[in-house]
A and B are shown apart, each in its own frame.
Chain A
């Protein structure tokens, strides 16, 4: 079974440009999470989808970030316009459905997208 995949693996853009990150969760997983790790700091939660619905987007930094999960399958995270402080590694994770909380519900992480904003 394929794991969580993310595309691209690396992205280098200039400040002010737009970037779209994609995450394909494990097939059948209802829960999809986006996380970000900035410059060696802790991994921080961005948002959580249950199928196509945003369950919790309290971690989204600002309105320059837009996440979608049309059809409840893959998800995209768009940053527009990108700023220098957006640089970091963006992780996507998925877990099976059945309930909305992560308790006893292992999250499977993708390899991440390393975003560099110059």
Chain B
């Protein structure tokens, strides 16, 4: 029969506001994490990464926070712009692994 897909978590923010996208991971052995941005019709694009020996890393307008205690990752986007509208995925892997494990994604919509 037909399978029913999960609805993506969604986040709507006003242009200029800050956005926070959250991700929970399950594997305690994961020690490298990436946030990807996927725009419509395109493949996932690398935004920022963080290793498990850090709890915060900043890029241009983006910050990733890692809380290993509760296995939580977040992506903060400052001064969100319409071009930030996309689906955002977190991905995790371990030093001994060959593959990334992706979250279900969060759909961000920026309201002009």
Residues of A within 8 A of B (CB): 4, 33, 35, 38-45, 48, 55-56, 58-59, 84-85, 91, 93, 100-104, 106-112
Contact = CB atoms under 8 A, between A and B. Distances in A.
Interface of B: 2-8, 31-32, 34, 36, 41-46, 49, 51, 89, 91, 93-105
Interface centre among B4, B32, B44, B45 (most CB of A within 10 A): B44
Given A43-B102, A45-B100, A4 B7 contact: no
A44 B34 CA distance: 15
B34 A106 contact: yes
A42 B32 contact: no
Contacts of A85: 3
A32 to B, nearest CB: 12
B32 A104 contact: yes
Nearest to A58: B99
A4 B46 CA distance: 13
A102 B98 contact: yes
